[in-house]
Amino acid sequence: MFPNAERYNHSTEYANKLVDRIGQTPAWIAQRIGVTEKRMRYILAGVRTIKGDSTEILMSYAEQFCLECLAAEAKAAKDRARSKTATQD
């Protein structure tokens, strides 16, 4: 997998879809990609509100790429497990 910023998609929906594919908690993911749990929550919510003032939060392309790498690894791990199970049957 190689970075390609032309595929940048900062949407909250895409971030949540990647997290679902990874299959781990946002805290686990945040630790792996080098952001705080709070930053991860903001990315998944798409907004942060402090003292009644809301600000839109967009994930960076670097964050997106890290999530895509984790999602790809999660898929590969599931495929390996499936193939191992099929071989044992």
Contact, 29 vs 19, CB < 8 A?
yes
pLDDT at 89 over 70: no
Rounded to two decimals, the pTM is 0.88
pLDDT digits (tens, 9 = 90+) for 33-51: 999 999 999 999 999 998 9
